[in-house]
Amino acid sequence: MKAFEINTTAWDEENFVILTDLNEIQIKKVIEPIVNREREHGEYYDNDSLIDALVNAYPENQFYSYTTPKLISI
């Protein structure tokens, strides 16, 4: 399992983190077309719809997502 921070906008607060057994190529293959449709044609998406698209594309793989991971301050 690897952690990936997904950034699709200019605003860091809209990033989200997924923990998955997918690789970067598999993730981009699903997410990039969705983001590009929004940029080119105004089709709406949100982080939940991106995660849903990944789950639908790779139903046998594992996903854990976080929009605001728990911060531990020491």
With a cut of 80, say whether residue 68 has pLDDT above it. Answer: no
Cα separation of 49 and 43, whole Å?
A: 12
Q: What is the mean pLDDT of residues 39-47?
A: 90
**pTM score, whole prediction:** 0.85
Check residue 29 and give its pLDDT.
98
Distance CA 21, CA 41 (A): 31
**pLDDT at site 22:** 96
Task: Write out pLDDT tens, residues 3-38.
Answer: 999 999 878 878 889 999 999 999 999 999 999 999
What pLDDT sits at residue 66?
82
Taking CA atoms, 13 is separated from 3, 41, 48, 68, 74, in Å, by 17, 23, 15, 9, 23
